[in-house]
Chain A
Amino acid sequence: SQTIHQWPATLVQPVGSPLSLECTVEGTSNPNLYWYRQAAGRGLQLLFYSVGIGQISSEVPQNLSASRPQDRQFILSSKKLLLSDSGFYLCAWRDTPRAHEAFFGQGTRLTVV
């Protein structure tokens, strides 16, 4: 069966520090991968998605970037965090066809101080 791992679970970082969140999927190949952000008390905003290695689509211009160095690995990064980057970050994967449901990791709660 497929599983998705996301870490760390919680993170407190100072403003201006770098960020690296990692997500890996097991039990499937060539998944579609997604990064979402959920601000406190709000819905989910799609940040990035990837349909294959090295292929990244950005949905919202911002202080973040994403990379997919391996088939089942998706990384969310920032060179310098802002206070507004605080939130709950969720990684998700989807099989083909992309019309089907996405399955989510347990999320990373990021607090920028």
Chain B
Amino acid sequence: AQKVTQAQTEISVVEKEDVTLDCVYETRDTTYYLFWYKQPPSGELVFLIRRNSFDEQNEISGRYSWNFQKSTSSFNFTITASQVVDSAVYFCALSEAQDDYKLSFGAGTTVTVRA
């Protein structure tokens, strides 16, 4: 069963628009971690953020913000005032204590920001 679902396959926006990427996860573990990674056209995955299951505090880093809601098992990512350099594939991932903390990735969302 898919542990991480990213329902949006592709999103296209015009520069300066906000874009929100959805991530829904599934786990029975009480101890788990959630991550977001960015994969630019070069292919290397770039780590963006980690959140643990005991910390539901939302976070903002520059134009990026993350909304973690355990009640809905969601960990959504918003890019504010998008820029062309934000064009990439974004992956949400889950690691669970009961699964030796192995990273399970969603299918990814391709974001295209048009000038």
Whether the pair A43, B106 counts as a contact (CB closer than 8 A) is yes
Whether the pair A43, B108 counts as a contact (CB closer than 8 A) is yes
Q: Kindly state the interface size class of chain B when it binds its partner.
A: 20 to 34
Whether the pair B105, A43 counts as a contact (CB closer than 8 A) is yes
Whether the pair A101, B47 counts as a contact (CB closer than 8 A) is yes
Compute the total of residue contacts between A and B using a CB distance below 8 Å: 49
Cα distance A106–B52 when bound, in Å? 26
B79 to chain A, nearest CB (A): 19
A98 in contact with B44 given A43-B108, A44-B91 (CB within 8 Å)? no
Within 8 A of B (CB), among A96-113: 97-107, 109
Cα distance A30–B37 when bound, in Å? 24
Within 8 A of B (CB), among A74-110: 88, 90, 92, 97-107, 109
Chain A interface, number of residues (Cβ within 8 angstroms): 22
Q: Among the listed B45, B102, B107, which residue makes an inter-chain contact with A104, where contact means beta carbons less than 8 Å apart?
A: B45
A-B contact pairs, 12 of them (CB 8 A): A43-B105, A43-B107, A46-B104, A90-B43, A90-B45, A98-B101, A99-B33, A100-B33, A103-B47, A104-B37, A105-B44, A109-B43
Given contact pairs A100-B33, A105-B44, A107-B44, enumerate 10 new A-B contacts (beta carbons under 8 Å): A44-B91, A46-B102, A49-B102, A59-B102, A90-B43, A92-B45, A99-B33, A104-B46, A106-B42, A107-B43
